[in-house]
Structure 1
């Protein structure tokens, strides 16, 4: 079997080498053909060698793809800011400095230049700069005086710029003359409108006549005539009321259709833009504040359809971008300032849907029929169209009495629409996989959004964690990175949702009337937590399984951190899941313990809250001890080991500070007779103390085992020794006080503590000398110093004479013994070797 595998491997390598040889052969043939073409080109150039200076041109030796390819592109090489003006100059054959000058004028006088520039900057793709290095023959040319500048600039000004400036001045002149005639009442309104139409018809007729010989000039005249028709129709309707609204509307549509036809005939995108801007301006110009928004949006839908068909037919994508921006700007402006939910609900929702579907279809047509490559701008357009529509629809429905109940269905309908599109693309293989993944991602996004919109409570958490696990499974097993990426935010949402559920469910029970009682562990809330852990456990399994490698290239470090984060979520969820159940159980008991004796007396069993703290600390010690043993025996992870040791230390300190105090409160309650009249007091108030000591010892023991584990690699273990000794003296002191209280020797606390601290300091000195641990001896000296400070500044004031004598003599003897030990073992002490 191994021999056959080796043969198969050799065949595969041989096939790979043959494919490479074939590719190299093709490349050599292409280079040979290119070389032949260049040699043929050289033979055709002898006449040009005699030319002193080549034909002057304003093009640089470095040009952009915008100059070499059809279509509108931003010229990033000659850019002043974003390359928009340079790109327009390349597209229309104009000098870029002239375009910039005109754009500055447009910004200064009309305020539109800035916004149009931003829109075009986002909408128009940038060109890829390519360097042209023509093959030049070494021609020796005698020095000549520089020739005069070519006639190209003059030609550009005469043939392109002057006619555009002229038509603009003509329109301004007509407007000034109309204004003058209106102010002085020289001619009647009807005559003004008729004369204006005649002038527009004259320009149109002249443009038709000149089209054959002067096409560029003719195109400018057509644009001017259409602009005159638009604004004259607006004036006739708005100022003089000579034309009814319906006829005005029809005329505007006719003008727009004619402008589109003219753009097609002349093959000039600028004419289509004039028609588009004029068409979108008309609804506002014709507005009489009658609230007839249905006619307004119907008109816009018709205009959009025509313009988008034109944009597709001629591949004029800037028309699509401008139409997209203007449509949604007009709609949102109307919605913000004029929408009345009682009157416009149906109209608003209907036309938002029409505009969304219209632009969605146009987007898909470009991708599926024109076979465009998938770019960043496509993501922006698709997401903007989808979420603008969804946001508007959500607000419209949310403000409606009936619509408020349909928000989840509306969200699912969005998901279903994208799902149908993604299925069609996948089944028919109409586009590249990136487009499919983006639309499929939108399906998942809207399904995810539908969950909290329609559902409440823990169902949201379950569905989110289930969806995250499913996406992560698809991403890993099918090697599709986009699904793995989509699972990450869902993991975060599910985790936040679970924590939010906990805050609502496990809030302190005694703040409420106690009407809701939850059975510990056997309730839907805890079951929700268990399913959450199962979902993330499945993700963790896939993340760490050798078979399912991530498809995200060069992301080893990211994969490592993902494993850490998922593990942290699982561990914290397991801990807090049981923690809140225990906490809630004792809060429930406390709520039930409240007794009302009379109008002025009310009792509650505070011991329950003390027991709650103790059991939570015991549970925490059990949890960190179990986690320690699992890591030591099975996982053996260094990072988890360091984190676990830190948690162990925090739990021990929490017990010393809080747990011992609660145990003393339980002891006081046991010795106090007042609570026993209403609540049962038992010896368990004392026994719980020693139960907790057992689990404290287990926690310290597993921490010690961590120090012995080879994978932890701790070089300094002094901190654990210090913590152990602090814990020991703290527990001994607490137990001494506990025994004295139980025996009734309350007055001997101070004496007993001072002597016990001195004895423990002696024990540390002996242990430090025996084990050659310097930190133990220093700790003993510090403890003895603390004991002496307590003796002179506290004990001496409150103790009786006999007690003072006992404590002074005892401590003095202890100090002498310590000094003797230091002198006896001074050589051994000097040879200490610390950890």
Structure 2
């Protein structure tokens, strides 16, 4: 303590010397400003007198020019008696005016420029001399673009060109000396604003703040030194501290009209001395009780706020506010009440906002916001006082809610026209951080208690609801304030989205996110706000990625029998996301112009197709996952291909206008190949002996695949272009499906062998293709048919003759022979048409 006291005394001495130095520098700065203003006024008067002399010199030149023009007109033969008399009168009047003007110019006293060159004003004098030379320089003669009326007369005898009057610009009345002084002063102020005066900042601002701090410390050291020397007792020391503060406050009152900044620094230092004196008197001298010391500090804070209003200085109000937050800790003891502290903070913040609204000081809410939540975090969370005390938990959560509403009050400050752009951004940051800190702080309070509301998700939804109310009020009751309205909308969406994972399980989270993304997309089409578009894109992306990850890694196990088919959370999650994707695609399709213009996140061209693709894929995953988990293995194996074919057929029929065959022909061909491969794998794989249920599902799949193939081929063949290229492809695909169907037919009748059936089915397919090729006059189809007949004959010679049973040989040979004879007859009959 002795070391601290000696150091404080030394600093006090330095502060006193610093204050004296600051006063001297301030006076010198005022003298310099006065000299500068005097120089500007002298320069303005000198420029105005020079302009008058210059205008007087121009008038005789105009009179001489008029006289020469009149003589030129006389030479052209237009000398009438009336014109001669007028010319003489004009000449007389002009000579009279010339004599008067010259006389006035002679009577003007000469201007004597008396100036004292100092290092501070030398640069200014040089710039003024350059400006004076520029203004008094002779203006070059500029002929008029439009010739006067006399110039339109016939040429003179001597072929002389008539003189033209000099061009006269827009008549500008010379500025008065007062106006020019004002203009020069404004120009000087603009130059001062553009360039930062570091000397002024250091001399007036920085040194003053450092000086006040050092002075306060010096007072403390002096008091400590007096205590060590036993000069004064405890009461006298305290009285001396208050006396020093009063003297500083009185000096600030005396100087505040002439030295605004310096007086504010003195006033702030005075209240700092008050706080330090009360703190020492309470902690070291025990002159005040805790209640008395706290009341004194509160009165000091209130008085300082009043002084800040009188001086109209925001920094004093900020100092008072900081002192108000420090006051409880100055008089704190180990037996302090957390409820009393939060009550005091609530009252202090309400008073702060009243002062901020009255004086339109936006800095006060920012300071209060920072100090309030720092104090709450240090005194509540870090102190661990919430454990096993439900009553205190409820009160602390109630105060947290109160502070949340208090720090939503800057909305009113933002709505005021006087709010600057910089302050607007700072207050918007306070409003945004307020909700997140309240959620974090309230979540910690809830987590450390046994409340009936033990989920922070409810708190997040509550914050979203409050922001929604503010948004609706700004949307329907207040015009303008687009940034504030969009911020409230974004906060509503953010906290509603955050509350979902805090309150619900995994599958429910994805369901709500997907639904919310569709709702935001619809709002975007109505409000045209980018916030809705970006929020919808983010939520849709999160729901798709996390649901896919959940489906791959944590899907329901085969042994789970607690749920039923289509009545479980996984199916509802995937099915909801699928429906949401379809709805989003339809919304984009109906608002195609909106999503097609400009550079935006959800552009129509890729996003609409992606939405439909996600819808179909997630719909397949929903049914496939349930079939795999809740059906027998063989039935699930056949139900999945049926689901695939059904979804693709439904999509092709429903979206035939959106995805036209002419535009997406390659995609339809790939789809046709994919369905054919899936169908062949389904029928050709598996066991030879199959149950009735499996065979039924396979026949249903066959009918769906045949319908889908027929629809695509019909649409593709309806296009006249590229028909010849597609016909052989369709012929081969149809043959493969025909052979697979024949295989299924034999399995249905319990015949797993397909040796004889292959030759018969392929020969029949080749015969049918030949009939179609002849009827449609398609050489390509006929060539495919001939190739298939060649395969059948090759198999017959190389394999069937040697390995096939007798009955099989009889059937194959007779059937194939009849087919070949029939084809030969048809070729002979239609040779004139085909060739």
Pick one of 564, 567, 589 that aligns with 1:517.
Answer: 564
The answer for the alignment partner of 2:370 in structure 1 is 325
CA contact (8 A) 2:595 2:603 kept: no
The answer for the alignment partner of 1:380 in structure 2 is 429
Please state how far the C-alpha of 1:337 moved relative to its aligned partner: 1.0
Evaluate the alpha carbon distance shift between residue 280 and residue 430 of structure 1 in structure 2; reply closer, same or farther with a 3 A threshold.
farther
CA contact (8 A) 1:475 1:551 kept: no
Please state how far the C-alpha of 1:506 moved relative to its aligned partner: 6.4
The answer for the alignment partner of 1:438 in structure 2 is 487
Mapped to 1, the partners of 2:505 and 2:499 lie a distance apart of 11
The answer for the alignment partner of 1:25 in structure 2 is none
The answer for the alignment partner of 2:444 in structure 1 is 395
Residue 279 in 1 paired to residue 324 in 2? yes
Evaluate the alpha carbon distance shift between residue 630 and residue 641 of structure 1 in structure 2; reply closer, same or farther with a 3 A threshold.
farther
Evaluate the alpha carbon distance shift between residue 430 and residue 626 of structure 1 in structure 2; reply closer, same or farther with a 3 A threshold.
closer
Mapped to 1, the partners of 2:366 and 2:722 lie a distance apart of 61
Please state how far the C-alpha of 1:712 moved relative to its aligned partner: 12
The answer for the alignment partner of 2:306 in structure 1 is 261
1:673-699: per-residue Cα shift (whole Å, max 9, x none)? xxxxxxxx7477778778767767777
Residue 351 in 1 paired to residue 431 in 2? no
Mapped to 2, the partners of 1:57 and 1:316 lie a distance apart of 40
Pick one of 220, 227, 235 that aligns with 2:280.
Answer: 235
Mapped to 1, the partners of 2:582 and 2:308 lie a distance apart of 62
Mapped to 1, the partners of 2:202 and 2:497 lie a distance apart of 58
Please state how far the C-alpha of 1:384 moved relative to its aligned partner: 1.3
Evaluate the alpha carbon distance shift between residue 450 and residue 368 of structure 1 in structure 2; reply closer, same or farther with a 3 A threshold.
farther
1:423-452: per-residue Cα shift (whole Å, max 9, x none)? 444454265344334335544555555566
Mapped to 2, the partners of 1:476 and 1:200 lie a distance apart of 64
CA contact (8 A) 1:467 1:487 kept: yes
CA contact (8 A) 2:635 2:693 kept: no
The secondary structure found in structure 1 opposite 2:430 is helix
Mapped to 2, the partners of 1:715 and 1:292 lie a distance apart of 92
Please state how far the C-alpha of 1:701 moved relative to its aligned partner: 6.9
Pick one of 360, 366, 376 that aligns with 1:315.
Answer: 360
Please state how far the C-alpha of 1:247 moved relative to its aligned partner: 1.9
Mapped to 1, the partners of 2:724 and 2:236 lie a distance apart of 101
| C-alpha RMSD of the superposition | 6.1
Mapped to 2, the partners of 1:288 and 1:637 lie a distance apart of 83
Mapped to 2, the partners of 1:719 and 1:179 lie a distance apart of 108
Mapped to 1, the partners of 2:507 and 2:275 lie a distance apart of 59
Please state how far the C-alpha of 1:582 moved relative to its aligned partner: 3.1
1:358-405: per-residue Cα shift (whole Å, max 9, x none)? 221233244157577795555433221122223322332344322425
The answer for the alignment partner of 1:145 in structure 2 is none
Instruction: Using structure 2 for the length normalisation, give the TM-score.
Output: 0.57
The answer for the alignment partner of 1:417 in structure 2 is 466
Mapped to 2, the partners of 1:565 and 1:419 lie a distance apart of 31
The secondary structure found in structure 2 opposite 1:511 is coil
The correspondence of residues 240-639 of structure 1 with structure 2, limited to 5 A, is: 240-341=285-386, 342-343=388-389, 344-368=392-416, 376-404=425-453, 410-429=459-478, 431-443=480-492, 445-446=494-495, 467-477=516-526, 479=528, 482-492=531-541, 507-508=556-557, 510-512=558-560, 514-518=561-565, 536-545=581-590, 549=594, 555=600, 558-586=603-631, 590=632, 609-628=633-652, 635-636=659-660
Mapped to 2, the partners of 1:481 and 1:203 lie a distance apart of 55
CA contact (8 A) 1:311 1:317 kept: yes
Evaluate the alpha carbon distance shift between residue 176 and residue 745 of structure 1 in structure 2; reply closer, same or farther with a 3 A threshold.
same
Mapped to 2, the partners of 1:726 and 1:324 lie a distance apart of 77
Q: Once structures 1 and 2 are overlaid, which stretch shifts more, 257-266 or 476-485?
A: 476-485
CA contact (8 A) 1:448 1:464 kept: yes
1:301-340: per-residue Cα shift (whole Å, max 9, x none)? 3332333333333333233322222222332333431242
CA contact (8 A) 2:283 2:331 kept: yes
Mapped to 1, the partners of 2:469 and 2:608 lie a distance apart of 35
The correspondence of residues 58-97 of structure 1 with structure 2, limited to 5 A, is: none
The secondary structure found in structure 2 opposite 1:338 is coil
Evaluate the alpha carbon distance shift between residue 367 and residue 722 of structure 1 in structure 2; reply closer, same or farther with a 3 A threshold.
farther
The answer for the alignment partner of 1:11 in structure 2 is none
Aligned residues: 611
Please state how far the C-alpha of 1:260 moved relative to its aligned partner: 1.8
Tell me: higher relative CO, structure 1 or 2? Use CA pairs within 8 A at least 6 residues apart: 2
CA contact (8 A) 1:368 1:431 kept: no
Mapped to 2, the partners of 1:135 and 1:638 lie a distance apart of 73
Mapped to 1, the partners of 2:521 and 2:642 lie a distance apart of 37
Mapped to 2, the partners of 1:196 and 1:163 lie a distance apart of 21
CA contact (8 A) 1:356 1:386 kept: yes
Please state how far the C-alpha of 1:471 moved relative to its aligned partner: 4.2
Mapped to 1, the partners of 2:609 and 2:466 lie a distance apart of 37
The answer for the alignment partner of 1:812 in structure 2 is none
Evaluate the alpha carbon distance shift between residue 412 and residue 204 of structure 1 in structure 2; reply closer, same or farther with a 3 A threshold.
same
